[in-house]
Amino acid sequence: MDFTLSKKHEMARQLFKDFAETEVKPMAQEVDETEHFPMDNVKKMGKYGFMGIPVPKEYGGQGCDILTYVMCVEELSKVCGTTGVIVSAHTSLCADPILTYGTEEQKKKYLPDLASGKKIGAFGLTEPGAGTDAQGVQTKAVLDGDEWVLNGSKCFITNGEVADVYIVIAYTDIVEGKKGRKVKKFSAFIVEKGTPGFSFGTKEKKMGIRGSSTYELIFQDCRIPKDALLGPQGRGFPIAMHTLDGGRIGIAAQALGIAEGALERTIEYTKERKQFGRSISAQQNTQFQLADMATKVEAAKHLVYKAAMKKQEFAEGAKVSYSVEAAMAKLYAAEVAMEVTTKAVQLHGGYGYIREYDVERMMRDAKITEIYEGTSEVQRMVISGALLK
Amino acid sequence: MKIVVCVKQVPDTKGGVKFNPDGTLDRGAMLAIMNPDDKAGLEAALRIKDETGAEVTVLTMGLPKAEEVLREAIAMGADKGILVTDRVLGGADTWATSTTLAGALRNLDYDLIITGRQAIDGDTAQVGPQISEHLDIPVISYAKDIKIEGDCVVVQRQYDDRYHVLKAKMPCLVTALSELNEPRYMTPGGIFDAYDAEITVWGRADLKDVDDANLGLSGSPTKIAKASDKVRKGAGEKVELDPDESVNYIMGKLKEKHVI
């Protein structure tokens, strides 16, 4: 067991750090304040391969491992939670299911443009009446000749309006379950922007990650080709759950990055801020708080990297599940992000409550990591479900 | 077309500077980066590669850990890296360094050699022009723009208040300014490839047509008597006066300090 990063991973981390500090950090406050989607930086990230890190080279990606992708989301999120989730949703929730479940034609059609950032990806499962409870999904797909006809809506979709390629979960059948109840059977579809009948609804105004484009997707008699089906018909639910397992590692990395960013700012601030004639870092309360924050961040990092390495085993062909590791990483990293950013604001005192200081934004950004791609409660359900089965 | 870019691993100015007892830099103990002027030179070479398909080789002399800058260069798009490292080459001044690099370059085919103007740890700006003398090829220093025209290179050479446009037939050597361009980032896939790539390592025995008397610390005419970190200057004095009073004030200060 080795806790040391290889030299190539160290160099990749340095690359992401340099990019984040130079290109992303100067924009972070404005992105938050104006709810502006940072398209210029997304295009730059596309140019340098950040939008297709774990996609194999044969499909135009970088051919790197999951750990490298995780470090990218982590470093971006240290300075801007919005930018972190853009890469995470694009990679884990759109490129990854196409790579895992797509036909060769689908991979060749979509992955090169996604990996180069020419196109942006999104994923639609959540609906007004269905989040964790997938059976509440109302979006329906009916096969009509050579086309599927989609009707329904999706809400809270990350990269909603800016994306070009969407993975959409809809029910395609209703069967009788074990206890005689009606059970919906779901399927996954690839839907392209501009398809007639596919439009956007409300843009959500959010507490945090305010630059990310969160929209409602509306499907009204939206006709997509028969071969837009992703994976086997009726297997949409396991595809969605497996996709979310991967997505949770991305969000865990985002949470980890936000926590690390807040810790770094707080260390700097407490050294500079003087009260009673000395810097507040000389106070034992500050020292103990920082020690606790750093210890939890380190523990979160180990869980996140472990989950990334487990998913890597899967990516290399091993028949392993990384569901529990992903749930633990997301649960812990998200709660650490919330705790660390809250303490960071507290240690900044009044300045921590002012928008000019990054930790104010980081605390707002941290909250969503406990909610999306499965709340902390859902992660506990996943973990305990595996323990008690 | 073949381009060789000479790069140097230098201490990161954000880190502390540490010295050996003999006054030379203790490079192993410091954070290290690719010298900024050299990186601009590499970017210029990579842009020529993007346009013409030129082959870009990166050459460095240094400790074994200097291979990091070669891998960084490969991750940016260079084709191969050569590290010249040998204990007998350590402690070299500009003369011994240029002799060593010229000895390595004699083994290579090249149309264009690009070096940085100067390294941020020595600031001499001597190694590039010295290499051209050793190899008996033309040199154009302080390049703020490099273009290829047929078998010639056309360079804008920076001066204080203007630039000169110079044209030289290749093979030739150009020294690059960091203002030349904005170097590209590496790509994650490029980094993975760079760590799979083999770095060619040469020692003293691989250098062509060089004399031991011109190598390493013993072959360096420059002897360092004493080296020290930058001495911090105190805060200056700021006064707000009208122009005439300012002149009188400055003259008074200069006389007071016996400068004039």
Residue B239 lies in a domain: no
- Closest CB to B191: pick one of A12, A18, A50: A12
- What whole-number distance in Å separates Cα of residue B66 and Cα of residue A27? 34
- Closest CB to B72: pick one of A11, A48, A53: A11
- What whole-number distance in Å separates Cα of residue A171 and Cα of residue A184? 6
Q: What is the pLDDT of residue B231?
A: 66
**B221 and chain A in contact, CB less than 8 A:** no
Torsion of CA B28, B29, B34, B35, to 10 degrees: -100
Query: Are A297 and A343 a contacting pair, CB within 8 Å?
Result: no
Secondary structure letter of residue A372 according to DSSP? T
Mean pLDDT of the B76-93 span: 96
Q: Which ipTM did the prediction report? A: 0.93
For residue B176, the domain's CATH number is 3.40.50.620
* pLDDT tens column, B107-144: 999 999 999 999 988 888 999 999 999 999 999 999 99
Contacts for B77 with CB less than 8 Å, ≥ 6 apart: B46, B49, B56, B184, B190
Handedness of CA B71, B74, B80, B83 (dihedral sign): negative
* pLDDT tens column, A150-194: 999 999 999 999 999 999 999 999 999 888 888 999 999 999 999
- With b for 16 or more beta-carbon neighbours within 10 A and e for fewer, the A202-222 pattern comes to eebebebbbbbbbbbbbbeeb
One-letter amino acid at A219 equals: F
* Alpha-carbon gap: B53 to the closest alpha carbon of chain A (Å): 19
Structural domain count, chain B: 1
Read off φ and ψ for residue A132, nearest 5 degrees.
-65, -35
With beta carbons under 8 A apart, name residues in chain B contacting A62.
Answer: 187-189, 192
Q: What is the pLDDT of residue A358?
A: 97
Mean pLDDT of the A63-72 span: 98
Cα distance between the two ends of chain B? 57
A170: nearest Cα among A118, A202, A123:
A123
Question: For this structure, is A127 an active site residue?
Answer: no
Query: Are A349 and A327 a contacting pair, CB within 8 Å?
Result: no
**B189 and chain A in contact, CB less than 8 A:** yes
Residue B256 lies in a domain: no
pTM of the model: 0.91
Q: Which of A74, A75, A360, A373 is catalytic?
A: A373
Is the pLDDT at A125 greater than 70? The verdict is yes
**B195 and chain A in contact, CB less than 8 A:** yes
Is the pLDDT at A381 greater than 90? The verdict is yes
* Domain ranges, residue B187: 2-214
**A8 and chain B in contact, CB less than 8 A:** yes
Residue B227 lies in a domain: no
Residue B119 lies in a domain: yes
Structure confidence at residue B234 as a pLDDT band (50, 70, 90): confident
Residue B248 lies in a domain: no
Is the pLDDT at B232 greater than 70? The verdict is no
Strand A182-192 relative to strand A229-230: parallel, antiparallel, unpaired? antiparallel
- The residue among B24 and A341 whose pLDDT is bigger is A341
Q: With an 8 Å Cβ cutoff, are B188 and A72 in contact? A: yes
Contacts for B218 with CB less than 8 Å, ≥ 6 apart: none
Is the pLDDT at B230 greater than 70? The verdict is no
Residue B189 lies in a domain: yes
Q: What is the pLDDT of residue B15?
A: 63
Q: What is the pLDDT of residue A82?
A: 98
Pick from A18, A45, A47, A48 the residue to mutate for testing the B interface (most B CBs within 10 Å): A48
With beta carbons under 8 A apart, name residues in chain A contacting B43.
Answer: none
Residue B247 lies in a domain: no
Residue B207 lies in a domain: yes
One-letter amino acid at B66 equals: A
**A50 and chain B in contact, CB less than 8 A:** yes
* pLDDT tens column, A232-280: 999 999 999 999 999 999 999 999 999 999 999 999 999 999 999 999 9
* pLDDT tens column, B38-49: 999 999 999 999
Is the pLDDT at A195 greater than 90? The verdict is yes
With beta carbons under 8 A apart, name residues in chain A contacting B14.
Answer: none
Contacts for A65 with CB less than 8 Å, ≥ 6 apart: A54, A308, A312, A315
B102: nearest Cα among B161, B168, B173:
B173
B182: nearest Cα among B63, B39, B9:
B39
Size of interface A-B (CB pairs under 8 A): 52
**A15 and chain B in contact, CB less than 8 A:** yes
- What whole-number distance in Å separates Cα of residue A385 and Cα of residue A382? 5
